[in-house]
Amino acid sequence: MKVIIEDGCIGCGACESICDAVFSVEDTVIVNEAGIAGNEDAVKEAADSCPVSVIKIEE
Ligand code: SF4
């Protein structure tokens, strides 16, 4: 799985609260690629929960 963040993150923190192994939010989101393995379901949930739909997943 690859995680791509499109432009437009508003830094709300929702993704980090769902999966902090992969997402960290400062002004904007940072993806920790090494945290994805084993957390795929949470990554999908975070992508679904992003209010501006900028988290894209490639299987
Ligand atoms: S949920 Fe979406 S808008 Fe919110 S911090 Fe994460 S990527 Fe950014």
Chain segment 2-52, per-residue pLDDT in tens: 999 999 999 999 999 999 999 999 999 999 999 999 999 999 999 999 999
Q: What is the pLDDT of residue 33?
A: 97
Q: How far is the CA of 49 from the centre of ligand 1 (A)?
A: 8
Q: How far is the CA of 12 from the centre of ligand 1 (A)?
A: 5
pLDDT value at 59 more than 90 = no
Q: What is the pLDDT of residue 53?
A: 98
Domain ranges (residues) in the chain: 2-58
The Cα–Cα gap between 40 and 7 comes to 22
Decide which of 3.40.50.300, 3.30.1490.100, 3.30.70.20, 3.30.565.10 is the CATH code for 2-58. 3.30.70.20
The Cα–Cα gap between 45 and 27 comes to 21
State which H helix or E strand residue 31 sits in.
strand 29-31
Nearest atom in ligand 1 to the alpha carbon of residue 14 is: 1
The Cα–Cα gap between 43 and 33 comes to 11
Tell me which residue of 59, 53, 58 sits closest to 15, measured CA to CA. 53
